[in-house]
């Protein structure tokens, strides 16, 4: 074998090693770039999640950050003496700020400060004001000469609950009908005996 052939082989070998090394370096740089981009995206998403406030999608006005409070309240709704349950899928976890969960329709879970009951009912597509309780299907139960919509918070009758910001262990009763004082007391007792699901 001559010098020329040996030199050609060495040049080919050096050229192959250089080319292979450059290709490996290129792939390494691309991998580092992709991993860095993914890390930046995950980090930014985590930051946004931990710092969600009322400006996050679906958040109520004037609410604190998610996790700024965790309160539970018992709710009992009686319409003409029948109990309305919020345990169906149509009423479960419609908002991260305040909701019913775990197929339970009697315990309200609130996860931020400044979230009122009006917002809860809005997320459930239920109209509620001091005169009417309106279901998503359009059925309305409004105060009139024969029947009255009444609200009780912790045993005390109030005129409206829309702006009420629940506190831990609150008991909320919504009635529609023409109940006697004895029937109202029985419902309040039923509500007091209702377990909170935490």
pLDDT digits (tens, 9 = 90+) for 16-32: 666 666 677 777 777 78
- Token pair listed for 147: 């029947």
pLDDT of residue 35: 82
Yes or no: say if 100 and 196 are a contact pair by the CB < 8 Å rule: no
| Chain mean pLDDT for the chain | 85
Q: What percent of the chain shows pLDDT beyond 90?
A: 58
Q: Give the residues across from 87 on adjacent strands.
A: none
Coil, helix or strand at residue 189: helix
pTM beyond 0.85 = no
pLDDT tens digits for range 40-67: 777 766 666 655 544 455 578 888 888 8
Cα 60 to Cα 120: distance, rounded to the nearest angstrom: 9
Question: In the 8-state DSSP scheme, what is residue 167?
Answer: -
Residue closest to 135 by CA, chosen among 72, 74, 82, 186:
82
pLDDT of residue 20: 65
Distance from CA of residue 68 to its chain's centroid? 13
**Residues 137-163, mean pLDDT to the nearest whole number:** 95
């Amino acid at each position: 074998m001559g010098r020329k052939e040996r030199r050609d082989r060495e040049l080919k070998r050096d050229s192959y090693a250089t080319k292979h090394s450059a290709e490996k370096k290129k792939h390494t740089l691309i991998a580092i770039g992709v991993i860095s981009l993914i890390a930046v995206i995950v980090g930014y998403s985590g930051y946004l999640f931990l710092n969600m406030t009322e400006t996050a999608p679906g958040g109520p006005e004037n609410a604190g950050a998610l996790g700024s409070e965790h309160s539970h309240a018992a709710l009992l709704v009686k319409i003409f003496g029948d109990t309305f349950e919020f345990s169906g899928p149509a009423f479960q976890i419609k908002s991260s700020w305040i909701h019913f969960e775990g197929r339970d329709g009697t315990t309200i879970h609130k996860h931020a400060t400044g979230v009122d009951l009006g917002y809860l009912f809005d997320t459930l597509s239920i109209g509620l004001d001091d005169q009417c309780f309106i279901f998503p299907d359009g059925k309305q139960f409004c105060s009139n000469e024969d029947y009255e919509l009444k609200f009780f918070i912790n045993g005390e009758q109030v005129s409206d609950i829309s702006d009420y910001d629940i506190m831990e262990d609150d008991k909320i009763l919504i009635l529609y009908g023409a109940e006697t004082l004895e029937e109202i007391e029985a419902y309040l007792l039923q509500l007091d005996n209702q377990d909170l699901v935490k």
